[in-house]
Amino acid sequence: MAEISNVLLVGSGAVGTMGAYNLESGGLASVTAVLRSNYAAVSSNGFNITSMDHASRADPSVRNTIPDVVKENLKPFDFIFVATKNIADVHPTVSEIIAPAVTPGHTTVALIQNGLNIEKPLIAAFPNNTILSGVALIGATETQPGSILHDDHDHLIIGPFDNPNIPLAVQLAAAKKFVEIYSASGKVDCELNENVGFVRWRKLLYNACYNSACTITRMDTTRMRIVKQPIDDLVRPLMLEICDISKAAGYQMPDGIVETMINVDPWSFFKPSMQQDIEKGNFIEFENIVGEPLREAEKLGVPAPTLKVVYGILKTLQWTTKENKGLVTLPQLPLTGA
């Protein structure tokens, strides 16, 4: 019999839930999902999934706290599948959240998250563990707690981040194992791609540009293309700057990719994830998506004026959300006389 991998899912929104569902369906993984806002709904009724690819039920076990492997005397997790939003400027951070579930030297952490340099805090926190890059290309939406609509095929790109403390062969073996268990269902495309930097810069062409522009303007991608001015004055300049920065960083984007990315979304009035978050009053994951490429530009001496303005606006919006959530205390101003 094939060995069953012990997998922990952290972040059971639409992408994470479909990942867990696929892993269970493949039969090579046993998944425990950590839920937060949707825990009550799922623990009572299970997941309600409408999927274009998956027909059978395969609910993972669920809990509402991060397992503490040592204190709870649990079997070590072979993989932790992290699909949370990466809010780098708000505690607890990803490394702080998953720490109790990580077995040093054993657990492989797969970051199914957006942005640049997301691996650095994880390698610092877990120097003897392999950290995988996961770039998900999937259409999935949590329509209400525990209910997922999956309407575009799942394509997951996996590769090891460079952890200098671990031999590359060991890291590649972990990546290949993850691809094996994720592909076992036969319903997804999961590929090993060792060129992690190129894959992440390519996805930034969308996330740092459309995601940011839609968040700031509250305009979906279809309306932007209809109006045209947001594309010409904001989205395209951002994409060209990302191309310049990535080239200086050693990752040449292919010819024509900017126009391809501008038209990548269907005409469905699509709202990118950061726009959805800001409209819900949630934190936005702008530091790794916009802040890190901007810092790379400054380090490499590449002009990025549009990106710098966008970063400043997003940081201001995040501050307002922090204030609304009680994380910011304003100073008491002295009363002035009439």
- Tens of pLDDT, residue by residue over 238-265, are 999 999 999 999 999 999 999 999 998 8
Give the per-residue pLDDT at 77.
Answer: 98
Give the per-residue pLDDT at 43.
Answer: 81
Q: What is the pLDDT of residues 15-58, one digit of tens each?
A: 898 999 899 989 999 999 999 888 888 888 888 888 888 765 55
With 60 as the cut, is the pLDDT of residue 67 above it? yes
For residue 270, name the pLDDT band (cuts at 50, 70, 90): confident
Give the per-residue pLDDT at 112.
Answer: 96
Give the per-residue pLDDT at 1.
Answer: 60
What the chain holds in terms of domains, given with CATH numbers, is 5-194 (3.40.50.720), 198-324 (1.10.1040.10)
Q: Determine the Cα–Cα distance for residues 114 and 133; give it in Å rounded to an integer.
A: 9
Give the per-residue pLDDT at 58.
Answer: 56
Mean of pLDDT values over 74-89: 96
Q: Determine the Cα–Cα distance for residues 83 and 97; give it in Å rounded to an integer.
A: 12
For residue 149, name the pLDDT band (cuts at 50, 70, 90): confident
Mean pLDDT for the chain?
93
Could you tell me whether strands 147-160 and 131-144 are parallel, antiparallel, or unpaired per DSSP bridges?
A: antiparallel
Mean of pLDDT values over 127-140: 92
